[in-house]
Amino acid sequence: MKAVLRSPILCVLMLIGAALAAALKPTVLLAEQRPGIDLEQMVPKRFGEWNMVPILMGQIVDPGQQALVESLYAQTLTRTYVDRDGYVIMLSISYGRDQRDALQLHRPDICYPAQGFVLLDKQAGHLPGRKQVPIMQMQTQQGSRFEPVTYWTMIGDHPYAGALNKKLAEIRYGLTGTIPDGMLVRVSSIDRDAVAAHAKQSEFALAMIMALPDDSRSRFAGN
């Protein structure tokens, strides 16, 4: 008798679970609920002491293979900037409208080693003066090329560091039925002195954030 009852009860529980999963499944793209992103127009070509210059061949490391990039990201922006002292900064921004598992932004600590770089060091921190923006700082090397990197990722209007915080941000949006968009901001330079490079990169990132239009700054660095 107990066995006879158990089967229908299990079926009912499975149906309830399936119904809850369907009800909680995000269906609305956050990207469609607010103004669109135009990286080329939003990010200034000149700000503070920094001016955009032509990109030199072989200078920028792509965030992944081109076919993968095109499938993952709605927009990408790649630029090179130089300050009045001649220090060169490479900027790469990738924006995706849908951050579900199959369409995740690919992190530099995965992409750089995949392209033959050795990951010498990686540590978490935050942008000076903007503790709400957690960042990752890496030291990478490929042959004689030493490339320190600073990056952060946005899920909607929430910056995060680490896979757990990223997943929690996605869950928060998911509970409202929303599929968040995402942005990866990567700043790097070719420099053997990683400490000095990361300081320059933070200086550049802060100047860029402050130069962004007021109504879109939260899309790049949170509220």
Backbone angles phi, psi at 105, to 5 degrees: -65, 140
Is residue 17 assigned to a domain?
A: no
- In the chain, pLDDT over 70 holds for what percent of residues? 76
> CA–CA separation, 126 vs 197, rounded Å?
15
Question: Number of structural domains, the chain?
Answer: 1
Q: The tokens 């529980």 sit on which residue?
A: 13
Token representation of residue 78: 């790649």
Give ∠ CA 126-128-132 in degrees, rounded to 5.
Answer: 50
Domain ranges, residue 168: 28-217
Domain with residue 65: its CATH number is 3.40.1000
Residue 149 included in any domain: yes
**Residue listed under structure tokens 């130069």:** 211
Reported as a single tens digit per residue, the pLDDT across 166-204 is 777 778 888 888 888 888 999 999 999 999 999 999 999
Is the model's pLDDT at 67 over the cut of 60? no
Stated pTM of the model: 0.81
Do the domain assignments include residue 83?
Answer: yes
Amino acid present at 121: D
Higher pLDDT, 172 or 220: 220
Q: Within a domain: residue 2?
A: no
Residue 171 lies in a domain: yes
